[in-house]
Amino acid sequence: KLLIPLGERYQQTFYLFEKQDGELKQTKLIPTLFVPMTGTSEAERTILPDPSNPEIINGSFEETEEVDHVLQPLGWHYVRQAHVLTATPPEGKNFVRILNQDAGRFAQMLQAMPLDGRKIQAVRIELWVRGENLRRGNSKYEVPAISLHLFDEQRKLLSASSKHALEGTFSWKADRLDVKIPPNVREAILHIGVNGGVGTLDVDGVTLKGIPR
């Protein structure tokens, strides 16, 4: 048996390869973050993620895949208690609903990206959100929120990471999070979720724009 990550950098999925009846079969498992890409395939790529121009992939959730009979957004990782719905959202045809009824359970989606703090002084995250009965969980960390986690070249989490809490009930509204980027930042993870809190969070039209130094 072989466990191999396939895909582009920051957009990879683990596959299980095993021999059955003399043939090599592959089984798609889960998306993953931060698997180093090395070797010939990486060296031959003509398009690589640009740390000086960070961006969100599939921020309007129009690209989907079916997982256990549930639509999930492509390009997003560690999706927990979240699924794509088709209706009349602010942008396109789809939006993501993140729902948690049990305080302490994960309900989230993440996307990683290269981000060079030597070239980018700040980022602006913009998105549409709608909430229903969003409340904090039992600990101070269990807060429905939009967060940007920042990492240095050793992938150590930096204290400069930012969080924008979302609480209560509200209709679709445009929202944003502005984050200052220290020079030692090299990568970031956008984290959107109910995060152990409770309630329903709908999300659409997620964008991220870097502001050059």
Rg (CA), the chain: 18
For the domain bounded by 50-212, which CATH number is listed?
A: 2.60.120.260
Q: Nearest to residue 82, comparing CAs of 111, 125, 114?
A: 111
CA distances from 29 to 17, 113, 142, 158 (A): 10, 21, 28, 30
Contact 135, 200 (CB under 8 A): no
Residue 4 pLDDT > 60 = no
**Pairing state between β 168-180 and 77-80:** unpaired
Structure tokens at 102: 């049990």
Q: Where do the domains of the chain lie?
A: 1-48, 50-212
Residue 24 pLDDT > 60 = yes
Total-model pTM: 0.80
At 109-123, the pLDDT tens digits run: 999 999 999 999 999
- For residue 202, the model assigns a pLDDT of 98
- For residue 3, the model assigns a pLDDT of 60
**Which of 44-48, 57-61, 68-72, 206-210 is predicted with the least confidence, judged by mean pLDDT?**
44-48
Residue 7 pLDDT > 80 = no
Report the mean per-residue pLDDT for the chain: 86
* C-alpha to C-alpha distance for 33 and 172, rounded to whole angstroms: 30
- For residue 110, the model assigns a pLDDT of 94
Q: What is the 3-state secondary structure (H, E, C) of 48-104?
A: CCCCCCCCCCCCCCCCEEEECCEEEECCCEEEECEEEEECCCCCCCEEEEEEECCCC
